[in-house]
Chain A
Amino acid sequence: MRVELIFSLVLFVLSVTIFFVSGNYSELAATFPKAVAVIMGTLAGIYVVQMLLKKAAPHPFGDYPFYRIILFLVLLVLYLVCLNYMGFYSASFAYYLIITLGLSREKVQKKQIAVSFCSSAAFMGMLYFLFSGLLKVQIPSGMFI
């Protein structure tokens, strides 16, 4: 089954769901979402037909190893979870360090760890000076800073 065809079907189902969920609201609150859902559904329907008529397209991710995307997203979720426990600066420091090392094209060596560590510390220092020192804006806080 082609990926884009499945995607277009998901969009069609989403449009139909929005239309029926809108039916639970009062007339004034439902007018606009219903109208939008009808247009969305029509367009998604055309999209489905286009995909049915189209020859199989190349996979949207090509040869790229999809697990890297998943890993990146998992790290992102962990970072967001840690924000509330560790605090913005310490969680961001760890995230920056892991991402810059993890996405390195070469084998991780001491020099790269030192570069990532220093750049992460410098970036966090700059953000701390700007956000907390100068502007005094609120940031997510936790056990550390």
Chain B
Amino acid sequence: MDILQQFIHYFPQALTASNLAVLVLGTIVGLVLGALPGLSPTMAVALLVPFTFVMEPSTGLTLLGSVYVCAMAGGAISAILINVPGAPANIATLFDGYPMSRQGKSQTALNMCFISSLIGGLAGMAAMIFFTPYLANIALKFGPSEMFWVAVVGVTCMAGLSTGSLVKGLFGGTFGLWLATIGFSPMLGEPRFIFSDVLAGGINMVAALIGLFALPQMLTLMEGIYDQKKFTEKLKPEKGILKQNILHVLKMRKTLSIGSIIGIIIGIIPGAGGQVAGLIAYDQTRRFSKDQTGFGKGDPRGVVAAETANKAMAGPSLIPLLTLSIPGSPTAAVLLGGLLIHGIFPGPELFQEHTDIVYIFMASLVLAQFSMTFFGILMARYSYSIMNLPKRFIIAGVIILSVFGSYSIQNNFNDIIICFGIGFVQYLFQKAGITGGPVVLGLILGSIAENNLSKAILICNGTGESYFQYFGTGPINITLILISVLSIAYSMYAGYRAANPKQNGGEGTLCESN
């Protein structure tokens, strides 16, 4: 309990006036920057690093920590309101968040998003505070073979993300895997599938995901713009729903548990990221639900699962950074820069040498969860006004923001072309019933799977170890293989159940709570 005592001891020091002021500033800046497509949490933190030069280390880290936490939450705002995720971590949020907005429930979706974010965030922080030494040891056990199997487990979720046809969903996923191979091969740097200079740098993930969700949705909105029935109804603020939303989320114990556990596990694995956590949690929640018919059509459980998971991974994702000096994500690498600027060198001795700063930083991350929820819910109250804007203004605005978002990642014009090129292909896919979820999952997992497969092949060739021995032994490998097999078996069973509804009692009620 030494860690808890230390945390309680240093907690009041995080409540100084200067720390609280930067906490509020970081929350608002994080939410706003996060909501802008293309301005990822990494970029948001990087933009604020120079401002911390003149601050006390604990105050500076409070600012960076609050921006880190809140930018990811801000990404959910644009995902829910305009179907464009502000950050990759919010991809799974839009599957049900945007349909909820289209049904006039944007405030409910955002309220639920921030409440579940708070719960997931606190679960992740608790894991970080209490289990840091143990989780750091687990993180060290993930080598290329384990990482490859993590990607395979993710690939098996593709079936769960596809709506309608299993074949189309899996095809979309493998198409995403192929997109990830465009560019230079990870180990040899060999150019592959570069048919034009535009593709020389490969497919940038953020540009691709903006295109995958923004352009098809705007074209779909345009198709319906002349439909009088669809656009005459004005949305009104949903009054007195906060208490109802809190109770509804708290009832979803199963969804919250699945999201938190998956978020924490994915968080400690370097390189996996919030997007993988959100997508896997979304898929597992769907699988463990008695009634799956509402998913993808505005089921609150989808929003809660995704947001709980991507916030739960935030705390544990810092464990490899703080204990081993390994930044597990680009954002963690920028945070590492912020720590180094203040003369703090992460590693095994960090907790002894800079005890006060580390615990104040952890306390500020916990406080940021509360301020994020408060300001997020405040913003949610006015969300209906965006949904009431004439669609032609939304279409023009989203296209312009997509241009900015895809360009600003690397200041590269080619990313804009890739963004809209992929968007147009996805629009055609959508017409054929292939949704964007599996494609984006394939794109994310493709590079993780191939990098680690190539590394593993080279290791096997170098050591003379057989592929079976390398990939098929060890407790983590075996566990992940079993999860993959069970996941595929379940997909087949679910497919059979859907094809024979009479034999299993038909369909349940829509959007039932856990």
Contacts and interface: CB of A to CB of B under 8 A. Distances in A.
B408 to A, nearest CB: 5
B205 to A, nearest CB: 17
A137 B408 CA distance: 7
Interface string B178-203: 10010001011010110000000000
Contact of A104 (B187, B223, B392, B458): B392
A4 B392 contact: no
Nearest to B185: A29
B181 A36 contact: yes
A140 interface: yes
Nearest to A59: B431
Nearest to A104: B392
A120 B223 CA distance: 22
A60 B396 contact: no
A139 B39 CA distance: 13
A43 B171 contact: yes
Interface string A72-95: 110010011001100010001001
B226 A105 contact: yes
Contacts, number: 135
Given A8-B432, A22-B192, 19 more contacts: A25-B190, A25-B192, A28-B185, A28-B187, A29-B188, A39-B170, A40-B174, A43-B167, A43-B171, A47-B171, A60-B432, A79-B399, A80-B417, A83-B403, A100-B392, A103-B395, A105-B225, A120-B396, A139-B404
Interface of B: 33, 36, 39, 47, 165, 167-168, 170-171, 174-175, 177-178, 181, 185, 187-188, 190, 192-193, 219, 222-223, 225-226, 390-393, 395-397, 399-400, 403-404, 407-408, 411, 413, 416-417, 420, 424, 428, 431-432, 446, 449-450, 453-454, 457-458
Interface of A: 4, 7-8, 11, 18, 21-22, 25-26, 28-29, 31-33, 36-37, 39-40, 43-44, 46-47, 50, 60-61, 64, 68-69, 72-73, 76, 79-80, 83-84, 88, 92, 95-96, 99-100, 102-105, 119-120, 123, 127, 130-131, 135, 137-140
19 contacts: A8-B432, A29-B187, A32-B446, A32-B449, A36-B174, A37-B178, A46-B167, A61-B223, A79-B399, A79-B403, A83-B413, A92-B400, A92-B403, A96-B396, A105-B226, A119-B393, A135-B39, A137-B39, A139-B408
